[in-house]
Structure formats: C-alpha cells, structure tokens
Amino acid sequence: SQQGEEDPQALSIQEGENATMNCSYKTSINNLQWYRQNSGRGLVHLILIRSNEREKHSGRLRVTLDTSKKSSSLLITASRAADTASYFCATDFSGTYKYIFGTGTRLKVLA
C-alpha cells in the first residue's frame, strides 16, 4: 500500500495565488521530502524536512510536518505559470533507506 498519499490529486489556480498540497503517510519516518516533476520525466528535489522539524522554508516554498497526524503540507506562494508540474512527497520507512513516493498532485497555474 502507498506510504504517501497526496491531496488533492489535481489543483488549478490563477497565477499569483497560493497553492497548498497535502501528504499523508502511514508509518514512522526519518524524513519527508517533496519533489517536482515536469512532463513526466526526472524529478527535482525541492525540500527535505526531518521528523524532528515542524516547518521549513525555501524561497516561495513552505513545508510543514505534523508527525502526530502523519501529514505534511507544501505551500507555494505567489504561484507562477512555471510552477505547473506534478508534486510528490516521498517518505522513508524509519530506520531504512527505502523511499516510498505518493501518487502526486498535478498543479496547473493559469497565466
């Protein structure tokens, strides 16, 4: 079964608006990462948040982690058309190297 599940599956917003995506997982983790994928090819790492962290920022990205709820959110502020992509969360099983990816959120930013 999936370790990470993103919500919503698809999101369409206007340029300049904020986009929020959520990820839920099932087991204990060491860290959680968010990746972006354009055009169904290679993934680009966005941000890593460790299990003892609650919030991280990187540019227009803000990631939160709530280990009690086993959930994370990715916020993209002031979205741009270039942010159009699929966004995946990936979690490791605590104590292992195995990374499990969710099914992704397809974000479309309309100019």
Partner 1 sequence: GAGVSQSPSNKVTEKGKDVELRCDPISGHTALYWYRQSLGQGLEFLIYFQGNSAPDKSGLPSDRFSAERTGGSVSTLTIQRTQQEDSAVYLCASSLESSGGVETQYFGPGTRLLVL
For partner 1, the binding residues (CB under 8 A) are 2, 4, 30-31, 33, 35, 40-45, 48, 88, 90, 92, 94-104
Cα torsion through 8, 89, 1, 40, rounded to 10: 80
Which C-beta is closer to partner 1: that of 18 or that of 38?
A: 38
CB of 92 to partner 1, least distance (A): 4
**How far, in Å, CA of 14 to CA of 93, rounded?**
36
Instruction: Output the six-digit token pair for 28.
Output: 């204990």
Omega before 8 within 30 of 0, i.e. cis: yes
CB of 48 to partner 1, least distance (A): 6
Region class of 97: left (phi > 0), else alpha (psi between -120 and 50), else beta: alpha
Which C-beta is closer to partner 1: that of 15 or that of 61?
A: 61
Which C-beta is closer to partner 1: that of 14 or that of 98?
A: 98
CB of 103 to partner 1, least distance (A): 4
Which C-beta is closer to partner 1: that of 48 or that of 75?
A: 48
